[in-house]
Amino acid sequence: MLDLFAGARLTPTQRRIAHCLVERAGTAAALSSAEVAELAGVSQPSVTRFAIALGYPGYPALRRALRDVGGGPADDGGEDNAMQVAIKAEAEHLQRLKEQLGSLDAVQKAANLLVASRPLPVLGLRAAAPLAGYFGYFASKVHPDVRVWDTGGTSLLDRLDQARVAGAGAMLALVLPRYPRESLEVVKEARAMGYAVVAITDSAVSPVAEDAAVVLPAAVGTRLVFDLHTGPMAMAMVLLQAMCDADPEPVQRRLEEFEAAAARRQLFQG
Amino acid sequence: MLDLFAGARLTPTQRRIAHCLVERAGTAAALSSAEVAELAGVSQPSVTRFAIALGYPGYPALRRALRDVGGGPADDGGEDNAMQVAIKAEAEHLQRLKEQLGSLDAVQKAANLLVASRPLPVLGLRAAAPLAGYFGYFASKVHPDVRVWDTGGTSLLDRLDQARVAGAGAMLALVLPRYPRESLEVVKEARAMGYAVVAITDSAVSPVAEDAAVVLPAAVGTRLVFDLHTGPMAMAMVLLQAMCDADPEPVQRRLEEFEAAAARRQLFQG
DNA sequence: CAGACTATGCATAAAAACTTTCAGAAGCCA
DNA sequence: TGGCTTCTGAAAGTTTTTATGCATAGTCTG
């Protein structure tokens, strides 16, 4: 299916269309050009032009191609390889996370604690370091002073002190298996210093649970050689969303400023 | 789907049409009335009349009904909040990724390119930087010389040079929306220098596609204020798994060494 | 066996979908 | 900045798809 689109140079509008079609893989062939246009938020002629850009004589031809490719496989009964088993398990984790988010109390409580903290330390060591960076990257766009702590060492405790003095009241801790000893120590120390610790971890009975003010559990995938952190990643972004919702006005302003700066510096393509 | 046809008293010709539609369940919605007629061996007006017999105002209405029943992922009813909608979409992305991994050709090709490269550069700028770090963190445990490039600037091109001289033959590029201009430039340059670039990106039509030797697409969630990268994260780990599979012996040895070291230094709890 | 009714396909009219043209807008390069 | 190219949507034009009238063949009933 994806190969159908390969090779062609596409305009931004066309990329939106492609994206929209890829997303609905199987059902795309059932859509008329006008319906695709509406879903992609573009004009109907753009859809025709998209088909032609791909080398088809027109939209109906593209649709036939979609039908032939998309309709084919659709085997959910069969033999899955190891990768598929792992990804399927991940999809189920997220499904469960979705159910769990039926009640947002814990998330909102955590969000309120974190938005109020200036600065806002984000702790994630070893395997969790990238997740801390990920959260920090986006959080910085809506919070004026996010501090990502992703390397260990004794200086961590100093930074904990400094942040506390600077006014930090809460901390986000990302603590995933295999639970780095150092992360646990920092959390314990933070609690002793009066921080309200929000912990994203892999289960409600994780070792950080006892020292955390709020525990946000999200399962970790363990079917491959290395752990898959999609659940905690999703949880982190849900938390960030809740932080934005909790404090919408400054968020919107900061995002607009970022957009303006990005455009000015031509950071992105498309 | 089958219920759609229930209740109505059908003529023999109409029964043939119904049978034909049921047989092609999923793809039926993509067919025009004339195509259905041909498949069923009846005249086109009979198909229209069939739709009317079922109580629809015309064939297009039947087609829409077919699409909604056959295509839809069967929503479980309730009112979902924004977070749940987003997580659900993520779960569906992973589901689709799972289908896509039914064929591992692209992943294996990518894995073979990457395991053979020493050093192995991993590029991920801006929002993709944490993902690069994540991949790099684990990849380092099974590959002797992984170099994570997660900050931009002109020195990137120098490092590209140095790695090439040092023997790198391939590079992993993580390029996600909004497609940092700098990432695209580096990939283009890398290709010109003879690197085989493996790109993990959000769709097969991403701007990196044209310069990549292998494109591994994985959808990005866009339902929240900020993007959710669970799909690319999962894809990255699948790729790493494939790299381990491609070269199992040294992998096992390095992992054991890591375990021994971790135990010695008491890195983890539990 | 005749008359009446239903079912079906053909031809064609109506409607919808698709393509093309054109003009405005946005980005690029000097 | 200003001219140039490229992209995009609105509207008009063209083709395809769908609906309907009509004639024929088959079937049931008396």
Reported as a single tens digit per residue, the pLDDT across A19-61 is 888 777 778 888 999 999 998 889 999 999 999 888 888 999 9
Give CA separation, A94 vs A16, A186, A228, B69, in Å. Answer: 26, 29, 12, 24
Spatial CB neighbours of A162, under 8 Å, sequence gap ≥ 6? none
Inter-chain contacts counted by CB atoms under 8 A, chains A and B: 248
Q: Which two tokens stand for residue B66?
A: 């077919």
Taken in order A39, A260, B125, A118, the sign of the CA dihedral is negative
SS3 readout for A33-91: HHHHHHHHCCCHHHHHHHHHHCCCCCHHHHHHHHHHHHHCCCCCCCCCCHHHHHHHHHH
User: Which residue type is seen at A249?
Assistant: E
pLDDT single digits (tens) B35-76: 999 888 899 999 999 998 888 889 999 998 888 765 444 445
Residues B69 and B103 occupy one common structural domain: no
Residue B212 lies in a domain: yes
Residue B216 lies in a domain: yes
Looking at residue B153, which CATH number applies to its domain? 3.40.50.10490
Residue A270 lies in a domain: no
Q: Which residue among A6, A31, A238 places its CB closest to the CB of B209?
A: A6
Residues B106 and B187 occupy one common structural domain: yes
Spatial CB neighbours of A206, under 8 Å, sequence gap ≥ 6? A175, A179, A199, A215, A217
Residues B132 and B164 occupy one common structural domain: yes
Instruction: Give CA–CA dist A74/B177, Å, rounded.
Output: 28
Q: What string of pLDDT tens digits covers the 270 residues of chain B?
A: 444 454 556 788 888 888 888 777 778 888 999 999 988 889 999 999 999 888 888 999 999 888 876 544 444 556 788 899 899 989 989 988 998 898 899 999 999 999 999 999 999 999 999 999 999 999 998 899 999 999 988 888 899 999 999 999 999 999 998 788 888 889 988 998 999 999 999 887 777 887 899 999 998 888 888 889 999 999 999 999 999 988 777 767 777 776 666 665 565 655
B13 touches strand C (CB under 7 A): yes
Residue A62, nucleotide of least CA–C1' distance: C18
Q: Which two tokens stand for residue B110?
A: 């990518």
pLDDT single digits (tens) A211-226: 999 999 999 998 888 9
Q: Identify the domain containing residue B159 by its residue range.
A: 87-265
Contact at 8 Å (CB) between A49 and A59? no
Residue B163 lies in a domain: yes
Secondary structure element (H or E) that encloses residue A100, with its range: helix A82-100
Tell me the HSE value of B140 on the side-chain side, using a 13 A CA sphere: 12
Instruction: Give CA–CA dist A161/B155, Å, rounded.
Output: 35
Residues B26 and B141 occupy one common structural domain: no
Number of separate domains in chain A: 2
Contact B129 A131 (CB under 8 A): no
Contact A226 B234 (CB under 8 A): no
Instruction: Give CA–CA dist A240/A96, Å, rounded.
Output: 19
Contact A86 B238 (CB under 8 A): yes
Instruction: Give CA–CA dist B249/B252, Å, rounded.
Output: 5
Instruction: Give CA–CA dist B195/B170, Å, rounded.
Output: 5
